[in-house]
């Protein structure tokens, strides 16, 4: 019976114990604990890199398929954004590429920090423009009624203020 084994990676000999070797279905692995940990990390990183490369390849394929000539003579930012998003495979494709870039950047680095800051600023801008509000299609009847009442009240208040202006100016009738 074997009492020690040589690692296939570092070629050092260690006693055949769980302290030095990971267990497998049929005994112990061929790499010592230290070498196996390094090997597994490297394998995980290679798998992740393959997945990210495939994601990037898909994005490039979408770009090549949708590349076209021409367009409006006057560029508009919304048209430009729409075409760019199309090249990235839509909003979800752009988000995937964005996340690929994020994970390609070193953790804690300036690039990742800037990307996170961009997301925070985008979220703030979206909220300020009303993008965080519930779409009307999802409103209940009660919410719609409340909003209508609120707007009618505001409109009535404005009309009342307009009627008060001539009185303040010493006029009998509102100006035409």
d(C-alpha 60, C-alpha 80), whole Å: 18
User: How many Å from the N-terminal Cα to the C-terminal Cα in the chain?
Assistant: 109
Domain segments of the chain: what residues?
Answer: 1-68, 80-133, 136-168
d(C-alpha 92, C-alpha 87), whole Å: 11
Residues in the chain: 176
User: Burial level of 50, CB count in 10 A (0-12/13-18/19+)?
Assistant: exposed
Query: What was the pLDDT predicted at 38?
Result: 94
Indicate the DSSP class of residue 138: G
User: Which residues does 66 contact at the CB level (< 8 Å), separation at least 6?
Assistant: 86, 87
Query: What was the pLDDT predicted at 16?
Result: 86
Spans of the chain below 50 pLDDT = none
Query: What was the pLDDT predicted at 65?
Result: 74
pTM of the shown model: 0.43
């Amino acid at each position: 019976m074997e009492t020690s084994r040589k690692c296939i990676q570092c070629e050092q000999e260690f006693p055949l114990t769980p302290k030095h070797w990971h267990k497998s279905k049929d005994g112990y692995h061929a790499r010592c604990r230290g070498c196996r940990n390094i090997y597994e990390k490297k394998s995980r990183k290679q798998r992740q890199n393959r997945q990210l490369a495939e994601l990037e390849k898909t994005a490039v394929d979408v770009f090549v398929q949708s590349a076209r000539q021409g367009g409006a003579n006057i560029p508009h930012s919304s048209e430009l954004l729409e075409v760019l998003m199309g090249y990235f495979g839509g909003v979800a494709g752009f988000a995937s590429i964005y996340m690929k870039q994020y994970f390609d950047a070193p953790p804690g680095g300036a690039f990742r920090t800037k990307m996170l800051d961009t997301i925070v600023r985008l979220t703030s801008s979206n909220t300020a423009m009303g993008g965080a509000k519930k779409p009307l299609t999802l409103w209940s009847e009660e919410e719609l009624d409340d909003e209508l009442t609120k707007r009618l009240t505001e409109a009535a208040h404005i009309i009342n203020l307009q009627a008060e202006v001539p009185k303040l100016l010493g006029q009998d009738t509102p100006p035409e």
